[in-house]
């Protein structure tokens, strides 16, 4: 406890509040998560490797991570565009659009899943126009990308938006005065300032896509080796009472989320490197 002694502060309540914080955090998050690690430790190395590298599981990684990368890339393009338009331009309905960006965040994933599956199916609102073009989205791997893009969009917009808001107009004015044209200003002044937040947004959107379950299973078709995502593999194993297998795969996913979390933290540190 001595380690946590705050230096010279007259505000009361540090001990109890920090104590409760640590207690509740351990009870709800840390102990249950460590259960996962301990359970995995019960497997031998060979069992673990053969479980997490089984062909069907490997295919699910490819589907999950591949789709998540593509979805995050789409989100970077449109997310930055939306953020820029929302901050810099004034148009009718801007506030409503701004609020709507968080819809994927607020809409329960099951609702997202059944809705996307419905409007992108061959007789749905959008699907019926794509069908004649030979594009099938629902019940194909494309559907996975679509769902991941939907749920990941707010992460890019909401990470980049505040950074655009904070760019001082003076900087652009200075660049213009120094003879840069608009494109040069965007490329040489604005873009480098946005880059860390764009990368952070990409990573967050990617992480969300990798972990997503609810919205995807309705639209993916869930065909083994083709459109089966890793979280679904865990559920499948659980339903077969293969707890060890479920745990091993979950452990791989948990490690990958920690890795992404680490990257995000490093990116945020990097983005503050010019801060005073």
Partner 1 sequence: MSAPLTTAVRQKNHAPTEPQVVRWLLIGIALIFLTLFLALPLAAVFSQAFEKGFSVYLAALREPDTMSSIKLTLITAAVCVPLNLFFGVTAAWAIAKFSFPGKNLLITLIDLPFSVSPVISGLIYVLIFGLQGWIGPWLQAHDIRIVFAVPGIILATIFVTFPFVARELIPLMEAQGKEEEEAALVLGATGLQTFFRVTLPNVKWGIIYGVILCNARAMGEFGAVSVVSGHIRGMTNTVPLHVEILYNEYNYTAAFAVASLLAFLALITLMVKSIAEWKVRQQLNNT
Partner 2 sequence: MGIEIENISKHFGDFSALGNVSLTVPSGELVALLGPSGCGKTTLLRIIAGLETADSGRILFNGEDTTRSHVRERKVGFVFQHYALFRHMTVFDNVAFGLTVRPKSTRPSREEIRKKVTELLHLVQLENMANRYPSQLSGGQRQRIALARALAVEPQVLLLDEPFGALDAQVRAELRRWLRKLHDEIHVTSVFVTHDQEEALEVADRIVVMNRGKVEQVGTPDQVYEHPASPFVLNFLGNVNLFHGRISQGQAHLGGLQVDSKGYAGADDTPAVGYVRSHDIEIERDRQDDSSIKAVVRTILKLGPFVRISLAIEGNSEFIEAELTRDTYKHLNLQQGEQVYVRPRRVRVFVEDFQI
Residue 257 structure tokens = 């989320």
Binding partner 1 (rule: CB under 8 A), the pick from 52, 70, 144, 153 is 153
The answer to the question of residue 193 lying near partner 1 (CB under 8 A) is: no
Cα of first residue to Cα of last residue in the chain, in angstroms, is: 33
Nearer to partner 2, 239 or 276 (CB): 276
Looking at 5-13, 225-233, 237-245, 260-268, which segment touches partner 2 (CB under 8 A)?
Answer: 5-13
Size of residue set near partner 1 by CB under 8 A: 95
Q: In the range 46-105, which residues lie near partner 1 by CB under 8 A?
A: 78, 81-82, 84-86, 88-89, 91, 95, 97-105
Residue 166 structure tokens = 């904070």
* DSSP string covering 200-259: HHHHHHHHHHHH--HHHHHHH---TTTS--HHHHHHHHHHTT-HHHHHHHHHHHHHHHHH
Of 51, 246, 232, 63, the C-alpha closest to 143 is 63
Size of residue set near partner 2 by CB under 8 A: 3
CA 162, CA 82: separation in Å to the nearest integer?
A: 12
Please report how close the Cβ of residue 150 comes to partner 2 at its closest, in angstroms.
Answer: 39
Looking at 16-24, 55-63, 133-141, 193-201, which segment touches partner 1 (CB under 8 A)?
Answer: 16-24
Q: Calculate the CA dihedral of residues 123, 125, 126, 129 and round it to 10 degrees.
A: 60
The entry of partner 2, partner 1, none near residue 275 (CB within 5 to 8 angstroms by kind) is none
Burial of 137 (0-12, 13-18, 19+ CB in 10 A): buried
CA 101, CA 75: separation in Å to the nearest integer?
A: 12
Binding map of partner 2 across residues 7-46, x = CB under 8 A, - = no contact: xx-x------------------------------------
Please report how close the Cβ of residue 134 comes to partner 1 at its closest, in angstroms.
Answer: 19
The answer to the question of residue 106 lying near partner 1 (CB under 8 A) is: yes
Binding partner 1 (rule: CB under 8 A), the pick from 51, 60, 67, 112 is 112
Q: Provide the binding-site residues for partner 2, judged by CB under 8 A.
A: 7-8, 10
């Amino acid at each position: 406890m001595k380690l946590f002694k705050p230096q010279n502060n007259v505000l009361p309540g540090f001990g109890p509040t920090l104590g409760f914080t640590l207690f509740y955090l351990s009870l709800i998050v840390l102990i249950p998560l460590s259960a996962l690690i301990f359970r995995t430790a019960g497997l031998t190395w060979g069992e673990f490797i053969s479980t997490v590298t089984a062909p069907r599981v490997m295919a699910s990684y490819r589907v999950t991570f591949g789709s998540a990368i593509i979805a995050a890339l789409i989100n970077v393009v449109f997310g930055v565009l939306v953020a820029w338009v929302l901050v810099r331009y004034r148009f009718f309905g801007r506030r409503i659009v701004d609020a709507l960006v968080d819809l994927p965040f607020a809409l329960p994933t099951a609702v997202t899943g059944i809705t996307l599956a419905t409007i992108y199916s061959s007789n749905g609102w959008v699907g019926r126009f794509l069908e004649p073009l030979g594009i099938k989205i629902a019940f194909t791997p494309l559907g996975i990308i679509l769902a991941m893009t939907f749920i990941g969009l707010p992460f890019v917009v909401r990470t980049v938006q505040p950074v655009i808001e904070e760019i001082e107009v003076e900087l652009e004015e200075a660049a213009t005065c120094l003879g840069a044209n608009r494109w040069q200003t965007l490329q040489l002044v604005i873009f480098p300032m946005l880059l860390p937040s764009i990368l952070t947004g990409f990573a967050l959107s990617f992480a969300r896509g990798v972990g997503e379950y609810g919205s995807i299973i309705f639209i993916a078709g869930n065909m083994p080796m083709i459109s089966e995502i890793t979280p679904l593999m865990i559920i499948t194993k659980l339903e077969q009472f293969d707890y060890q297998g479920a745990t091993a795969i979950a452990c791989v996913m948990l490690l990958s989320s920690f890795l992404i979390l680490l990257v995000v933290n490093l990116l945020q540190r990097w983005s503050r490197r010019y801060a005073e």
